[in-house]
Amino acid sequence: MDKILRQIANTIVANLKNTEPIGLFNGKIGIVLFLYKYAHYSGSTVYEEIASELINDVFNLVRSDMSPSIIDGVGGIGYGLSMLLGEHLVESDPEENVLDDIDKMLLCDVRSSLMKELHNPYPLYSSGLYLLSRLYYDEATVDQVWITNVIVQANHVLSDCIKQKKYGMLKLSHLGSMLYVLFELSKMKKVEVETLESLIKDILYLSHQAVLQGDYREIDIVLFGKMLSQLPQIWEMDCYEQLRKSVERLSLTESQNSMDFWYEHLWWSVIYDLVDDIPLNKIEGYIDEKVAEAYFDESIVNNHLAAVGLCLMKNI
């Protein structure tokens, strides 16, 4: 395992100049997250110094008009910083909250960020996902108003979709991220389960419609199936059984069990904390192959490898 992680880290460092975006899935903050964690894991300060330079680049490029998305926008930057701060891999000046601007964009104005995401090719509930990372970092600094807003605004959008037919059909990616956020908030005891009952019912109803209409990607089905399997029985509404069977049927494709599928979509395992066990003998040969291809695929290889490294260290 140490050999694979060192190979990943060195390949990323060698290709750093080819990573220009600053997002989590496809840019610098994802690499920063891996390099800081690997520096801590390996005890090498070299990787920490490189990560420190990169994080300064990220700070300098954050803008108020950025996408809120956790994939390639401010949500992902906030998520990465929250994880680093929460694990004490970087320190924050007590006099200055480095997350203050991101809090304002995503948690003080949840409605605005939610409306922007509705029009993304791959919409998510990034304000909610970022809120979970903030709770992980420092629960004491999370305003209860933020939690209330995340729940209330989700309720407004779901209600508008069902009663007033606004916004068109929500995609399964968006509904799945809402389901995950609400479920995690209930597990953290930040909201009573009964309070979320009507929201979960609406999410399951709209998710069933999205599945019936084919408004999903393969990874959405895989993730949604795992979320469904974790829901408590109290949330298994009228359409639950039909939805579960439909998702199970769509989750049985051979491609979803391939190493290529695992490699391409591993950032979702990081975000949703759904790290699957992959046999080490498969990983070694596969990563060797991907590293060999790095020079032909320089624009995206860094972030794929960073996600692999994060998942491997989490398993350890």
How far apart (Å, rounded) are the C-alpha atoms in residues 148 and 163? 22
pLDDT (tens digit per residue) in 139-176: 999 999 999 999 999 999 998 888 767 667 789 999 99
- Under DSSP, the state recorded for 110 is H
Q: How confident is the model at residue 305 (pLDDT cuts 50, 70, 90)?
A: very high
Tell me: pLDDT of 20 over 90: no
Q: For residue 166, what are its two tokens?
A: 């606004």
pLDDT score of 297: 58
113, 127 in Cβ contact below 8 A?
yes
Q: How confident is the model at residue 262 (pLDDT cuts 50, 70, 90)?
A: confident
- Give the predicted TM-score (pTM) of the model: 0.93
174, 223 in Cβ contact below 8 A?
no
How far apart (Å, rounded) are the C-alpha atoms in residues 316 and 311? 9
User: Is the pLDDT higher at 127 or at 57?
Assistant: 127
Tell me: pLDDT of 276 over 70: no
What lies within 8 Å, CB to CB, of 115 at 6+ separation is none
Tell me: pLDDT of 296 over 60: no
Q: Which amino acid is at 99?
A: L
Tell me: pLDDT of 299 over 60: no
Poorest-pLDDT segment among 123-137, 198-212, 284-298: 284-298
Q: What is the mean pLDDT of the chain?
A: 88
pLDDT score of 62: 84
pLDDT score of 107: 96
pLDDT (tens digit per residue) in 69-124: 999 999 999 999 999 999 999 987 655 678 999 999 999 999 999 999 988 889 99
Tell me: pLDDT of 277 over 80: no
How far apart (Å, rounded) are the C-alpha atoms in residues 316 and 298? 28
Q: For residue 254, what are its two tokens?
A: 């051979």
pLDDT score of 197: 87
* Residue range 230-251: mean pLDDT, rounded: 83
Q: What percent of the chain has pLDDT over 90?
A: 53
Q: Which of 187, 180, 213, 149 lies closest to 70 in space, CA to CA?
A: 180
pLDDT score of 280: 62
pLDDT score of 167: 63
pLDDT score of 161: 87
